[in-house]
Amino acid sequence: MANMRIATWNINGLRARLDFLRLWLRDRRPDVVGLQELKLGDEIFPYAELEAEGYYTAVHSQKAWNGVAILSRVKPEIRQQGLIGQEQMGARLITASVGPLDFGTVYCPNGKHIGHPDFLLKLSWFECLTRFIREEYSGKDSFVLCGDFNLCPTLLDSWNEPLLKGQIFHTDEERTRFQELLCCGLFDVYRELNPDGKMFTWWDYRAGSFHKNQGLRIDLLLATRSLTSRIDRIEIDREYRKKKADLVPSDHAPVFADLRE
């Protein structure tokens, strides 16, 4: 496997962010990218525009909500679109073979708040995801699962854990299910390389949260041990959480890592 740059980004509306995405693709030149929260149907997905940038696409879309895609320099072969039994939760998962790499991206449910019925649906969705990964990818040497997981995996992944502990994204129930997912043979690449790091990937648009660095690390690259051991660098791309000319960014920063041969 040649050197490869893998990435994940919750784009928060591909139609509104297409020019911003194209700028980032030209600048960072990733080989494989998982996108989340596309918010558009397949009939208006910008296949031609992304092909012009040198990317094939595999898409699981949904009009106005959710939606995930894989962009790749080599043509991806789709393996799975959506979680079986979780169709009511929308278009939230796609996996594909990308050359020698197995690659998946997810947009996990938000859950709203712990008293909301969606919170239990979120926990159930995670359990279903874990079963799927265990059944389909356990024992695979070259598997990446990336995306917006809508939870803070550890205490370090929140700007204010003491204030927010027990609230959505910060509950023991969410973190327990995330750990069960990791038990399928996956490793949180950022945390493996930065055991004491405190950087975030999402900041609310309101109240100057980005400039105050009041954020959460919820966008993750997970990988098998054989891949994680070949990654020396992972970057939370804060530069592309900033406005570019008249282009408005997503509220999430891209995350990318370089996988050596």
Structural contact between residues 49 and 76, judged by C-beta atoms closer than 8 angstroms:
no
Q: Which of 204, 131, 126, 190 is nearest to 157 (CA)?
A: 190
Q: Which of 212, 186, 70 is nearest to 130 (CA)?
A: 186
Q: Which of 32, 68, 79 is nearest to 259 (CA)?
A: 32
| CA dist., res. 117 & res. 24, Å (int) | 37
Residues 153-159: contacts with CB under 8 Å, at least 24 apart: 153/178, 153/188, 153/191, 153/217, 153/220, 154/191, 156/196, 156/197, 156/198, 156/217, 157/198, 157/200, 157/216, 157/217, 157/218, 158/216, 158/217, 159/200, 159/213, 159/214, 159/215, 159/216
Kindly report the number of other CB atoms within 10 A of residue 1's CB atom: 12
Structural contact between residues 216 and 235, judged by C-beta atoms closer than 8 angstroms:
no
Active site residues: 107, 148
